């Protein structure tokens, strides 16, 4: 899950940079837009990592409960 999320975020960021740079914004506006997109993608990857970790812990708890029974 994390690998897919990281790869897709990199692909989205690369395409976004290309699109923003071809739109004709000033350098400052382009930098602000690209930074915003980067921060949002970092936040999404972090959420994905937290979700994957929580799913893994839940799976370990269920496996542990099955072993006990």
pLDDT on residue 1: 77
DSSP 23-54: TT--HHHHHHHHHHHHHHHHHHHHHHHHHHHH
Counts of helices then strands in the chain (DSSP H, E): 2, 0
Residues contacting 20, CB < 8 A, separation 6+? 30, 33, 34, 37
pTM of the model: 0.77
Q: 68 versus 37: which is more confidently predicted?
A: 37
**pLDDT at 47 (0 to 100):** 92
CA-CA-CA-CA torsion sign (42, 43, 47, 50): positive
Q: Which two structure tokens, joined as six digits, stand for 58?
A: 């839940």
């Amino acid at each position: 899950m994390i690998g897919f999320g990281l790869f897709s975020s990199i692909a989205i960021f690369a395409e976004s940079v290309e699109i923003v740079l071809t739109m004709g914004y000033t350098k400052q506006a382009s930098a602000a837009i690209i930074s915003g997109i980067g921060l949002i993608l970092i936040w999404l990857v972090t959420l994905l990592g937290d979700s994957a970790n929580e799913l893994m812990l839940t799976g370990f708890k269920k496996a542990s409960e099955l072993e006990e029974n």
